[in-house]
Amino acid sequence: MNKTAKINFEKISLPNSGTIVLFTTKSNKLSDTAKELDTNNNKFITKAIKAADFKSAKSSILEIISPTITEPKTAKYDRIILVGLGENKAHTKLDWRNLGGSLAAHLLAKNIESATVLVETETDPEFIANLGHGITLRQYKFDKYKTSAQKDQSKEEETKETNLQKVAIQSEEATAAKKLFTNSLSPVQHGVFAARDLVNEPGNILGPNEYAKRIKALSSLGLGIKVLTDKELKTEKMNSLLSVGEGSRQGSYLAIMEWKGAAKTEQPLAIIGKGVTFDTGGISIKGAGGMEDMKGDMGGSATVVGLMQTLAKRKAKINAVGVVGLVENMPDGQATRPGDIVTSKSGQTIEVINTDAEGRLVLADALWYTQEKFNPKYMINLATLTGAIMVALGKEYAGLFSNNDELAEMLVASGKDTGEQVWRMPLGELGSSYDKLINSTFADMKNTGGRWGGAITAAQFLQRFVNETPWAHIDIAGVAMASNKSPINQSWGSGYGVDLLNNWIEENFEK
Ligand code: BES
Ligand code: MN
Ligand code: ZN
């Protein structure tokens, strides 16, 4: 699973054989090496560009197979691949990451085993490292449930066996790029892959029991792991969370992952995730169409688990705590009924109007517990919480709700930096008209707010379980699963949020 090509960073030195990747800019300006090869060999590159009407548009690719090379005499190349940079050069690290993704797609499709990439126009090590990062991210595969016979037959690129073993990235900044890649980007990639794997797993394999086991195994990375079981959750009075799992044959859990990379006295950053391993809707059962997607309703928790792995792998110099509620929402004789009233850990009572609005019931207790137990500096939760957020924002942005402008601004900035974008949505104060929509006739609140503004009333509900802590809720229903494909992500489960929050931590707490 997920064997990716070795990425090497080297000084520029054109090899004599194999596959060579060169960059061209708008109006087909060749890099130095390309120009030299072209001039010495009867303008074979210029001719190919003309014949193919190649425009060097960003991430476009022109492949010249087995060119006749007479100078240098010993050279014999399988392929010369030109990659367009578009206008002059690609300007952001995201551009370079995407270039890497597009290049990897080509190498994989052509079953190329190794390639040497000459980066002559770029000297920023961060950009060069991100080229390698993009190449690696693109190679993610989830084919563990395809038998080998099926794999051989499959014409889909996603499942076809590929042989890419090695990519050498040559540049003047090889040492710095390698350092960045190894210490900072590789840990992110591992966290993203871990999150994608968890989201892609079906509900029959990754139920709460198995999920809890996999989290326990992460102690080998140096994370402090604690898993609370049903019995302990009862003692902790987390009846809101527990009410969601009542209809399941499996246990419900709250898993806590601690990373201690700074002084004991430093307040931790807390990240909380919704881990509904399958959401049938419960007694308020969902329609059959597309219900299979609800195996991804643990996407928020997967981001938390991936992020904690990333922090541990790169030995981040901060304290962080990841908390995930693991439950399965099933209809059953024991299941919670619409109209049932539960008492949350906070003491507030909740009338469960709709058992399909279960994520907020899980998060209510997880948030309260985290805040009480860890007194975090900031608290961020991620959840595939509402269909309504997709109605509002589509699949381009996650929805951001926050009680703190500074935190919201930091997250918006990290979204721009990583390409995992968030759009801030309105959140009313306690007692505001938005907040009042979840008042209940029979209890302190109800778990749905009526027809309009469904993503907002969900956020208002969560806010009732947050005190003074600066807090943000990120609704990732549109971006965590069945997400838009991109040069660096072809997976159903995207791993959204690992990069975003890792960047937020790096930029704001480690510099
Ligand atoms: N897990 C769903 C939200 C969801 C829907 C995520 C589609 C990803 C894709 C959530 O538990 C849910 O069912 N929400 C309901 C809330 C409603 C009953 C108030 C919804 O959005 O319809
Ligand atoms: Mn639901
Ligand atoms: Zn759900």
Q: Which of 293, 355, 356, 438 to mutate to test the pocket of ligand 1 (most atoms within 8 A of CB)?
A: 356
Mean pLDDT of all residues in 475-494:
96
| Average pLDDT value for residue range 260-273 | 98
User: Structure pTM?
Assistant: 0.96
CA 321/CA 300 separation, integer angstroms: 14
Q: Indicate whether residue 95 lines ligand 1 (CB < 6 A).
A: no
Q: Which residue has tokens 């010369």?
A: 80
- In the chain, the amino acid numbered 288 is A
Rounded Cα distance between 395 and 477, Å, is 8
Token pair recorded at residue 210: 């198995």
CATH architecture of 203-509: 3-Layer(aba) Sandwich (3.40)
3 state SS of 151: helix
Answer yes or no: 286 catalytic: yes
Lowest-confidence segment of 77-91, 287-301, 474-488 by average pLDDT? 77-91
Give 511 or 214, the one with higher predicted confidence: 214
CB of 453 closer than 6 angstroms to any ligand 1 atom? no
Q: Which residues contact 132 (CB under 8 A, 6 or more apart)?
A: 7, 9, 100, 167, 169, 177, 181, 185
**Three-class SS state of 367:** helix
pLDDT value of position 156? 58
* Residue 7: its H or E element: strand 6-10
Diameter of the chain measured on Cα atoms: 87
pLDDT digits (tens, 9 = 90+) for 12-62: 999 999 999 999 988 888 989 999 999 999 999 999 999 999 999 999 999
Residue 449 neighbours by CB distance under 10 Å: 25
Ligand 1 neighbour 376 (Cβ under 6 A): no
Q: What is the average pLDDT across 461-483?
A: 98
Q: For domain 6-182, is the CATH number 3.40.30.10? A: no
Contact indicator for 116, 168 with CB cutoff of 8 Å: yes
Q: What is residue 404's predicted lDDT score, i.e. its pLDDT? A: 98
Q: Provide the mean pLDDT of the chain.
A: 95
Residue spans of the domains in the chain: they are: 6-182, 203-509
- Selected catalytic residue, list 160, 286, 377, 416: 286
Q: Which atom of ligand 1 is nearest to the CA of 481?
A: 8
pLDDT at res. 26: 84
155, pLDDT greater than 70: no
Looking at per-residue pLDDT, the higher value among 73 and 374 belongs to 374
State residue 246's pLDDT score: 98
95-129 pLDDT, tens digit per residue, is 999 999 999 999 999 999 999 999 998 889 999 99
pLDDT tens profile 200-228: 999 999 999 999 999 999 999 999 999 99
The reported pLDDT for the residue numbered 299 is 98
